[in-house]
Amino acid sequence: MSGGEQIHFERASFLGDSLIGEIEYQTEDRGEVGVVRVSNVSRRYPIALSRIDSVVVERRDLGKTVLLGAGAAAVTIFLVDVMSADEPEKSGNGGREGPVPPSALR
């Protein structure tokens, strides 16, 4: 936009000499007896192409998303392993102190 203004749209398309951008948001309608109804609303904004300096399209990168998920899984596994290493291991005699009877080794 002229003057450095930036607008972020969920979706955009070109129609004639305009860019049509859509913004999505939620509204809450408070009714009787504390009932709240949430609605998803989509609003369209037409902008004349003569007012637009540049358009940038941001796309999700599947590779980065997969790496982020794998990294989160690895950290989770590592933390579970570290947390379980702090717990004392139970012996074969039901956690009782002393020597293990031969019958418990079978």
pLDDT value for 90: 55
| Residue 91 in tokens | 């012996």
38 plus 72 within the same structural domain: no
| pTM reported for the whole predicted model | 0.43
Domain count, the chain: 2
| Tens digit of each residue's pLDDT (9 = 90 or more) over 2-19 | 567 888 888 888 999 999
pLDDT value for 55: 84
Quote the CA–CA distance of 28 and 48 in Å, as a whole number: 32
Residues of the domain holding 38: 1-56
pLDDT value for 92: 53
Quote the CA–CA distance of 63 and 9 in Å, as a whole number: 24
Quote the CA–CA distance of 47 and 58 in Å, as a whole number: 19
Domain assignment present for 93:
no
| Tens digit of each residue's pLDDT (9 = 90 or more) over 56-72 | 887 778 888 889 999 99
pLDDT at 43 over 80: yes
Helix (H, G, I), strand (E, B) or coil at 17: coil
Q: Which secondary-structure segment (H or E) carries 79?
A: helix 62-85
38 plus 4 within the same structural domain: yes
Strands (E), 49-102: none
Return all residues near 92 (Cβ < 8 A) that are at least 6 apart.
100, 104, 105
70 plus 82 within the same structural domain: yes
pLDDT band at 31 (very low <50, low <70, confident <90, very high): confident
Domain assignment present for 46:
yes
27 plus 42 within the same structural domain: yes
Amino acid at 100: V
pLDDT value for 28: 82
Mean predicted lDDT score pLDDT of the chain = 80
